[in-house]
């Protein structure tokens, strides 16, 4: 049925979509021509070398030692700290790399390799993953699921979603594979909207087994699916649905973790690598509440990492509970997507060991709401990209960041106007427009200050900290907004779940 749906989308798609896909492909390739994390940064390197090193390890070392410190696997040198599906993907890329040039994955001797041919190969692996998983998922979502949209409007909102600057900059500039877990999540959402709960559960579990940060969506999926099971008047059907979903989760995790479940030491080595409490509350400055509070209260000094992890978990769970219970009682797809946005923001703002790049997880449900909330989507895109500015500066990506952001914003506004959504930006919403313009002016001021003005000697990280606090305040506002939408927004027809 999925392939039939994709075929149906292709036959119905407006001719406008093909050029937009080509445009997005070219934007990614252009960004990939710039610098990346750890470029020429001997001997530390960065995420580019981490991903390459994982290919080296998974290709040369047996699976039971992938997460262990051994002679051939020094965990202090970019040890594998993502779930098994990432490891399998690294092994596949390593296998392909070996067929091109054995020196790219040669154990020990390949460390830090950054030749031109190898960079082309590495960039291509991200681009292929992006096109085949994220591109197809987002296009399928807007081409098939969103019935009220015309073919041209579907093409436009798909283009806007694909052009999200932060995702392009992180995956194709900084260098990561977020497109895989995000793409799998989109496919899972589309299956949920079509009432295919078994497939949806498998796809979400695959996303979770690719990047553990996908736990940001766990409460939304759990309470939505559990609520669905209790919606049926037929108790037998409820039980069958629950068993079906449970079997999908157990089977998927068993398959993904199969090499690691036969020995407790091996199993725990994986778990400890995935959830490193010892790293502390956060590493680099991040736009969440804990980092912002550090200005007033030195949490990392006053409270141990273990206790801070407990406080963080309790705070996050408490804030997640009201919207989760509401979703359980009202398991509509509208509530589900709003809840994805709201709860992922709570995780980002309050959870332990948050990285600035995990704001991409929040951006996914925001992207799925483009047509209903274009103004908010545009605003969130700008703020979330702005929050990554210190990381982009560290990677030497300031100019492509500014250029891509400005270009994409021009395209967004033009498309919204073409779709008749420009009312979201006019004087009818005067107060909101004033706040929006003031917000963007603040981003512009802080950006120019960080580029042109040297920070005071006493406060060398002042601009990074101001960026974090400024972005955090916006993310708190977005959190309240999406919770409001979940509790009070009306149910549009396009969000109805099939099968109920």
Of 322, 241, 327, 247, the C-alpha closest to 500 is 241
CA-CA-CA-CA torsion sign (359, 364, 365, 367): positive
Of 352, 273, 282, the C-alpha closest to 76 is 273
- Among the listed ranges 149-153, 222-226, 231-235, 403-407, which one has the minimum average pLDDT value? 149-153
Q: Is 112 left (phi over 0), alpha (psi -120 to 50) or beta?
A: left
pLDDT for 500: 44
Residue 171's SS3 state is helix
Cβ neighbours of 210 (radius 10 Å): 27
What are the two backbone dihedrals, phi and then psi, of residue 281, each rounded to the nearest 5 degrees?
A: -60, -45
Taking only the tens place, the pLDDT of each residue in 295-338 is 787 777 788 778 888 888 999 999 999 999 999 999 998 899 99
Q: Is the predicted pLDDT of residue 59 greater than 90, yes or no?
A: yes
Mean pLDDT, residues 464-477 taken together: 94
DSSP secondary structure string, 11-34? HH--TTHHHHHHHHHHHHHHHTTS
Give the distance, in angstroms, between the CA of residue 270 and the centroid of all CA atoms in the same chain. Answer: 22
What residue has token string 């594998």? 80
Question: In angstroms, rounded to a whole number, what is the distance separating the alpha carbons of residues 95 and 116?
Answer: 19
Confidence of residue 459 (pLDDT cuts 50, 70, 90): confident
Alpha-carbon Rg for the chain in angstroms: 22
Contact criterion met (CB below 8 Å) for 30 and 169: no
Cβ neighbours of 495 (radius 10 Å): 19
Q: Is the predicted pLDDT of residue 384 greater than 80, yes or no?
A: yes
End-to-end CA distance of the chain: 19
Q: What percent of the chain has pLDDT over 70?
A: 90
Peptide bond into 43 cis (omega under 30): yes
Confidence of residue 54 (pLDDT cuts 50, 70, 90): very high
pLDDT for 460: 85
Mean pLDDT, residues 366-386 taken together: 92
- Token representation of residue 283: 């590493």
Question: In angstroms, rounded to a whole number, what is the distance separating the alpha carbons of residues 218 and 213?
Answer: 10
- Token representation of residue 295: 């200005």
Taking only the tens place, the pLDDT of each residue in 414-452 is 887 777 665 555 545 677 788 888 999 999 999 999 999
Q: What percent of the chain has pLDDT over 90?
A: 64
pLDDT for 490: 63
Contact criterion met (CB below 8 Å) for 358 and 216: yes
Contact criterion met (CB below 8 Å) for 166 and 389: no
pLDDT for 143: 79
Of 303, 289, 293, 475, the C-alpha closest to 379 is 475
Question: Between 142 and 82, whose confidence is greater?
Answer: 82
What residue has token string 């994805």? 340
Ranges of each domain in the chain: 2-39+114-495
pLDDT for 431: 76
**For residue 114, what are the CA distances in angstroms to 59, 72, 76, 119?**
19, 21, 20, 6
Confidence of residue 499 (pLDDT cuts 50, 70, 90): very low
Share the mean pLDDT of the chain: 88
- Among the listed ranges 80-84, 313-317, 485-489, which one has the minimum average pLDDT value? 485-489
Q: Is 280 left (phi over 0), alpha (psi -120 to 50) or beta?
A: left
Contact criterion met (CB below 8 Å) for 174 and 398: no
Question: In angstroms, rounded to a whole number, what is the distance separating the alpha carbons of residues 364 and 387?
Answer: 16
Taking only the tens place, the pLDDT of each residue in 5-38 is 555 555 555 567 788 889 999 999 999 999 999 8
Residue 261's SS3 state is coil
pLDDT for 14: 56
Q: Is the predicted pLDDT of residue 495 greater than 60, yes or no?
A: no
Task: Provide the whole-model pTM.
Answer: 0.92
- Token representation of residue 244: 């079906």
pLDDT for 13: 53
């Amino acid at each position: 049925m999925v392939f039939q749906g994709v075929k149906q989308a292709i036959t119905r798609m407006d001719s406008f979509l093909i050029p937009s896909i080509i445009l997005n492909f070219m934007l990614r390739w252009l960004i990939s021509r710039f610098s990346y994390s750890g470029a020429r940064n001997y001997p530390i390197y960065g995420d580019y070398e981490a991903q390459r090193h994982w290919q080296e390890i998974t290709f040369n070392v047996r699976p039971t030692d992938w997460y262990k410190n051994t002679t051939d696997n020094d965990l202090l040198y970019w040890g594998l700290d993502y779930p098994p599906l990432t490891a399998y993907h690294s092994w596949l890329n390593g296998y392909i790399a070996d067929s091109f040039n054995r020196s790219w994955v040669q154990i020990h001797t390949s460390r830090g390799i950054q030749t031109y041919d190898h960079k082309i190969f590495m960039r291509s692996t991200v681009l292929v993953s992006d096109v085949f998983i994220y591109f197809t998922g987002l296009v399928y979502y807007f081409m098939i699921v969103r019935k009220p949209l015309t073919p041209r409007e579907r093409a436009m909102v798909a283009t806007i979603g694909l052009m999200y600057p932060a995702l392009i900059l992180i995956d194709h500039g900084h260098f990561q594979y977020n497109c895989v877990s995000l793409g799998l999540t989109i496919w899972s959402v589309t299956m949920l909207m079509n009432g295919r709960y078994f497939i949806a559960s498998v796809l979400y579990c695959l996303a979770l087994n690719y990047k553990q940060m996908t736990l940001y969506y766990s409460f939304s999926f759990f309470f939505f699916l559990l609520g669905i099971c209790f919606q049926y008047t037929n108790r037998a059907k409820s039980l069958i649905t629950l068993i079906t979903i449970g079997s999908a989760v157990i089977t998927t995790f068993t398959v993904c973790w199969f090499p690691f479940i036969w020995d407790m030491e091996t199993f725990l080595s994986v778990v400890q690598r995935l959830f490193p409490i010892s790293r502390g509350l956060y590493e680099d400055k991040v736009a969440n509440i804990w980092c912002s509070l550090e200005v007033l209260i030195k949490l990392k000094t006053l409270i141990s990492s273990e206790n801070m992890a407990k406080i963080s978990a309790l705070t996050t769970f408490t804030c997640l509970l009201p919207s989760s219970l509401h979703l359980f009682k009202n398991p509509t797809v509208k509530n589900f997507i709003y809840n994805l946005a709201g709860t992922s923001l709570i995780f980002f703002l309050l959870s332990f060991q948050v990285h600035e790049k995990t704001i991409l997880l929040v951006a996914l449900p925001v992207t799925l709401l483009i047509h209903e909330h274009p103004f908010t989507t545009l605003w969130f895109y700008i703020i979330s990209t702005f929050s990554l500015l210190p990381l982009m500066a560290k990677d030497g990506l300031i100019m492509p960041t500014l250029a891509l952001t400005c270009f994409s914003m021009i395209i967004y506004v033009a498309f919204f106007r073409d779709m008749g959504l420009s009312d979201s930006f006019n004087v009818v919403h005067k107060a909101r427009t004033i706040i929006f313009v003031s917000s963007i002016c603040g981003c512009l001021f802080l950006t120019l200050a960080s580029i042109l003005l040297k920070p005071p000697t006493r406060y060398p990280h002042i601009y990074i900290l101001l960026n974090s606090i400024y972005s955090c305040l916006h993310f708190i506002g977005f959190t309240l907004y999406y919770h409001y939408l979940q509790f009070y927004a009306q149910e549009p027809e396009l969000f109805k779940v099939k099968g109920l």
